[in-house]
Structure 1
Amino acid sequence: MPSGTGQEYAAQKNAVGQPANPSSHYHMQTRSPHVCGSKTPGEKEPFQNPNFTQNVSELEVQFPDSTYSSICTGRLVDPEIHIPELTESFLYYKNGTCISEVLLNYRQRQVESKSLLNSNQIKEIMSLSFVFFDPLICDLQEEERVRWRQSLGGNDRAFVSDLTEVCCRRKREEAMRALLVLGLKHDCIMSPLYLTAHSLLSTSILWADNVLDQDNEGSFIERFFKPLVNAFFGQFENARLCWINDVLKTGHVDIGERIVPKVMLSTSDPQHTVLVGEVTIPEASQHELNRNRVKLFIEMKHCLDGLLDYGVDSPVVGLLVQRHRVEVWSMTLPYEALYIPTKLGSFDLILSRFNFGTFFAMAPPLLAAKAIIQNSLTQLSRVRGWPLKSGWRRDTSALAPLPLGVTYPSTMRPLQRKRTGEDVNMQ
């Protein structure tokens, strides 16, 4: 990476018509000290995940109550809006290319030209400046996943294997006694894994009749999701779980807008939310599943904005129940205009004492989520008086309906729009 400021780098780039150092594998401009995971110039990219590309897809979100053609949730922004210029010092570079600028240009052209944007929910989605799934940022997602993921070691795996065997066909009291014996045997009675197993065995979810397809949303939450969440996330100090009818008030939420997650873990006075959850009932269609995932990301983005404004730079956790599977997500803002949702893991909600081996898949993402939440609550407990990343572009400005029949060139155009007073106020 060339030395000097972001302006000098931009001048070198314009002078030769390409990035000044295209041979470097990974580089970025100077980042502020509060940003985690920064790289030094010339450092080799440590995370490569070729298998991740199989999860990269363009999702179509369908809103039956709205007039539109379709909206791709891969890269979202209205091409007619005025976008303020990016801050040169906080952009993401890889292989000599400014990925932040590439994705912004992508998102300008990804809106279907026949969409009338007459739904408030569509406008909300379109106004966001983050990326959902794109191969260009899979390295960032893998970096975040590796940072928080807690893999099971050899002793942990032996503990889970023994627990799976002894819990099979046991009643709750017998299973709890077996858990204590195994914890003493493997010398892990104070470990996070043991406490997680104890929480799971204490819930009713292992002992309920697993007839998911006959449950409506309310009974599904009460019988399966609520016991699981209460067991794993209900013991944090200075934060409480709020269920279904509590309005999300944290972050950048417009006046009069009501965002109501199925569950959220929040502090009070003031409210700062560190976990949100959404549930899609088993008989939901595919477009309802996609729609709920987008809704969860929007809620996580608002929560993350609220934390940053308070001076806390820590991920937000999201729980997404898709039919009988639970997905565990985190969201960060590592670079300007790049809200990165990272899937920490997933597992089946169909659990029983006859198949406790599912705990192998359940433990790592839930342990990672608890570590993230504890980190956020620890930072929130400290006195904060200044916002973080306040000068970064997050949302776009006001939306206008797209004219019908408008097409946009396939080549990427660099952003040339100038920052306006209204744009500054929107930040």
Structure 2
Amino acid sequence: MRVTVALVAALLVFAGALGPVRTLAGEGQGQKPSPPFRPFVVSGDFIHVSGMLPTGATGAIVAGDIKAQTKQALANVAAAIEKAGGRMSDVAAVNVYLNQASDFAAMNEVYGTAWPTDPPVRTTVVANLVIPEALLEISAIGLRPGAERVVVHPADWQRSPSPYSYGIRSGNTLFLAGLVSRSGRDNKAVAGDITAQTRLVLDNARAILQAAGMSFADVVAARVYITDTKMFEEMNAAYRQAFSKDPPARATVRVGLMSPEYLVEIALRAVKTTDRTAIVPPNADGSPGRPSPNLSGAIRAGNRLFVSGMLGATDATRGNVGAQVRETLARIGRTLAAAGFGWPQVVESTVFITDISNFAAMNDVYRSIVPAPWPARATVETGLVSPDGLVEIMVVASK
């Protein structure tokens, strides 16, 4: 299968050497340590693709505007998907991290050419990236050949004004696009405070879930993007109304959204199964942890585990990114073990870091704890809800 020179350069610089699932090419050959993540991990029907930057054949960010960089980043995603045995037409979900919201329209123009029909679901937020010259980063979840791929669209809704679907279902798994305070029936933005917007977003999510034959009880993971952490508690109060029991795993971070009128964007993942268990992470001494009314530490759905965004901010780790990463990974490790999983089963990781200059320090600790071959990963700079938090990490594991 053909892999472009640009992808090889990108992966060597940003995602480690290419290799089949659970095998890392180049180990033991005297090479410098690769970044602790791989370009993709195949697990069951899913292909988890790391955040791809617009790097060209030399490994440097390609010259040009957002259109040129979008084209290159998509080419790198496509090459990874193809290397894993998949096709771009079968991609189910995409995350786009833009350096600036003003590039949204131009990015959309190029992005839409990758999926002329039935595009994947998508979440697009503003975040700073690892390399300052990069204008965007794109991560994705593809499907292996033969896996079911069904577009889910409420019957009385218009098509999205941007090139994405509202829902993609594959088997018992449903991916929902990042939803904002916009009416699906007429595509008009709906003004309101954080409470009103959160309620409308969740009403929209309910409509998509119902169109797929699901409900909020099937949601296993959520990502909540808010523009101001001062609105966190008000968002939580509205959010809790949708999840009365065993709420999904969740990460909440502060980012910019594509329009200043939007205060919150929420992306959900759901799994229809009777084998669903909420996991409460134990304390470091092994004593039982305390459940949160807003999120579950993790949700086990069959042979998959969706772990909430974890932080390691304590009095002892305040101001020390390495110490916080170590504590965060320890908490994730305890959660994995409590659910009967381990680090070798982790297939997807997202790192939210408050200062991208701490990227190397974060990587050093991450590499020392997370064993190779590593999961796919995206790392972006965002704000966190905790004022002392320097890093938050969210993972997905699969047996």
Taking structure 2 as the reference length, the TM-score comes to 0.33
Structure holding more strand per residue: 2
Larger Rg: 1
Structure in which a larger fraction of residues adopt helix: 1
